[in-house]
Chains A and B, each alone.
Chain A
Amino acid sequence: MSKFSKKKSGEVPAVSTASLPDIVFMLLFFFMTVTVMKDNSLKVENILPNANEIKKLDKKDRVIYIYVGKPSKEYEKVYGTEPKIQLNDKFSDPSEVGSYILQERAKKHQDLQNFLTTSLKVDKNANMGLISDIKQELRKVNALKVNYTTYEGDAFRNLQ
């Protein structure tokens, strides 16, 4: 009996945490390299559709973003559930897209102004009517280069 109850030495030796900082730093550097700073908070639902014939977007300073989607939960009461356009940090009408593009274009460096792409980040449940309105506005201000931003994946998954 006494064979089992007897402990050899008082306690388990403590696990060394000396390498913990290294591990955490590794994680930190990973996140620092693969992510970019958030510059505006999304107020719309934004689940992009999938596509596989995609091309990478230009550098960030040559892109103007337009978000479209249903207002997210906290804005539902005020703005309803119909898909809306988000420019910078506020909800907008299609008619405001033109002036927004011109305004953003003016902010960019002169050399880049002719090479701007408009990235349309549209929720997959939005209707084409709104997109057509945006496209029409973009044509009016001669911002013809657009990119339908999507996730990479099988395009047929969109249909389900």
Chain B
Amino acid sequence: MARRAGAPEVSAGSMADIAFLLLIFFLVTTTIETDAGLDRMLPPMEPPEDDVVIKQKNILQVIINRNGQLLVDDELTDIKGLRLKAKDFLDNNGDGTCTYCKGKKNAESSDNPTKAIISLKNDRETKYSTYITVQNELVGAYNDLRDREANRLFGKDFTEMEATYLDQQTPPSEKEALKEKVKQIQDLFPQKLSEAETSSN
């Protein structure tokens, strides 16, 4: 039998066309999803059974009107100043029981971080983007304080620790170790952000 001089070469010229076809198919059928945002818990529908009385000084009232103006404890405030105000309020330590706070100990402001509540109220006509900015600043105030404590205790940012904890790719052993730490920091500055129902006028 005559020996073949090797198999004939397959033409790869159309490979590019096939690949382009696939590429275009994927470009058309898929989207780059945004999958991040501000996590919030809504208050449950049924009111708590025991009506707790909260002192006025432990509540920071934030009201957004329809024009996007901000009223923080009856004082017109620029949104850029909100984060600082919220931080001062949370970190105030009025009754001196909070050992890690660095606040001014103002008797007129909140007692300690576990009692401090931020109440957010908005108008029906408020723009969503303004609302998100305010939410972002309030969450930012909590995160800043938690970062400060996490840096003091563990030498790491809280936001970073939490992100690692929530990441699916983190091995379970590492998660278990982080869980305690994250919980500890969260308890130092518990996020108490109440959202009142919107006013219609």
Tell me whether A and B are bound partners: yes
CB distance A145 to B39 under 8 Å? yes
Count of interface residues, chain A, beta-carbon cutoff 8 Å: 60
Count of interface residues, chain B, beta-carbon cutoff 8 Å: 59
Residue of A28, A37, A50, A144 with highest tally of chain B CB at under 10 A: A28
Q: How many A-B residue pairs have CB under 8 A?
A: 176
Q: Is A115 positioned at the interface, with any CB of B under 8 Å from its CB?
A: no
Chain A contacts for B27, CB-based, 8 A: 31
Residue-by-residue, is B115-147 near A (CB-CB < 8 Å gives 1, otherwise 0)? 000000011111111111101110110010000
Q: Which of B86-107 contact A (CB under 8 A)?
A: none
Chain B contacts for A56, CB-based, 8 A: 35-36, 163, 166-167
Q: Is A131 positioned at the interface, with any CB of B under 8 Å from its CB?
A: yes
Among B18-26, B54-62, B176-184, the stretch in contact with A: B18-26
Chain B contacts for A55, CB-based, 8 A: 36-39, 162-163, 166
Residue of A54, A120, A144 with highest tally of chain B CB at under 10 A: A54
Alpha-carbon separation in the docked complex, A136 to B200 (Å)? 14
Q: Which of A37-89 contact B (CB under 8 A)?
A: 37-38, 48-57, 59-60
A71 to chain B, nearest CB (A): 16
Look across to chain B and name the residue whose beta carbon is closest to the beta carbon of A126: B128
CB distance A149 to B130 under 8 Å? no
Chain A contacts for B133, CB-based, 8 A: 49, 51, 155-156, 158-159
Chain A contacts for B171, CB-based, 8 A: none
Chain B contacts for A38, CB-based, 8 A: 29-31
- Secondary structure call for the A interface: mixed
Q: Is B41 positioned at the interface, with any CB of A under 8 Å from its CB?
A: yes
CB distance B16 to A17 under 8 Å? yes
Q: A21: which of B15, B136, B143, B162 is its contact (CB, 8 Å)?
A: B15
B30 to chain A, nearest CB (A): 4
Q: Is A5 positioned at the interface, with any CB of B under 8 Å from its CB?
A: no
B95 to chain A, nearest CB (A): 29
- Given A49-B129, A128-B128, A159-B79; A54-B44 close (CB under 8 Å): no
Alpha-carbon separation in the docked complex, A138 to B139 (Å)? 21
Alpha-carbon separation in the docked complex, A52 to B23 (Å)? 33
CB distance A31 to B23 under 8 Å? yes
The 4 A-B pairs at the shortest CB distance, nearest first, are namely A129-B124, A35-B30, A158-B129, A124-B129
Q: List 15 A-B residue pairs with CB atoms under 8 Å apart, sorted by A's residue number.
A: A35-B32, A35-B33, A49-B132, A49-B133, A53-B140, A124-B127, A125-B128, A126-B127, A128-B127, A128-B131, A132-B122, A142-B44, A145-B42, A151-B34, A159-B130
